Amino acid sequence: MKIHLTSVFVDDQAKAEAFYTEILGFVKKHDVPVGEKDRWLTVVSRDEPGGTELLLEPAGHPAVKPYRDMIVKDGIPLAQFAVDDVQAEYERLRDLGVHFTQGPLDMGPITTAVFDDTCGNLIQIATEPQ
């Protein structure tokens, strides 16, 4: 068994597509219209185009807003992305205007940082020591 697809709820798919591709560097994999305004929109890592897909899922379900509001209020990241160097990625993203709620933090065996994805979620980046 392996993880094939996971998702993050987003307020605006076009805005999310721009952020996840142009800022974070993911690559669009699928973009299929679903209904009048929504899309089946997935992105993948540029380094692993056949790897796990991230669905940028519309946040229209009534349970999404209270759920996200609470976890954001509590500072809990919705997802974690692996990076080679948290400090370098933090600086790159910060220079592109990304807002971090937690700068690089050495947590013993890993280093993490947390940013706002501009679409309603907190995302953590992490590096494990080599």
Calpha distance 14→32 (Å, rounded): 13
Q: Which residue type, as a one-letter code, is found at position 111?
A: T
Domains annotated for the chain, with CATH where assigned, are 5-127 (3.10.180.10)
Calpha distance 63→55 (Å, rounded): 18
Q: Tell me: pLDDT of 41 over 70.
A: yes
pTM of structure: 0.94
**In the chain, what percentage of residues exceed pLDDT 70?**
98
Q: Tell me: pLDDT of 51 over 80.
A: yes
The pLDDT value recorded for residue 38 is 94
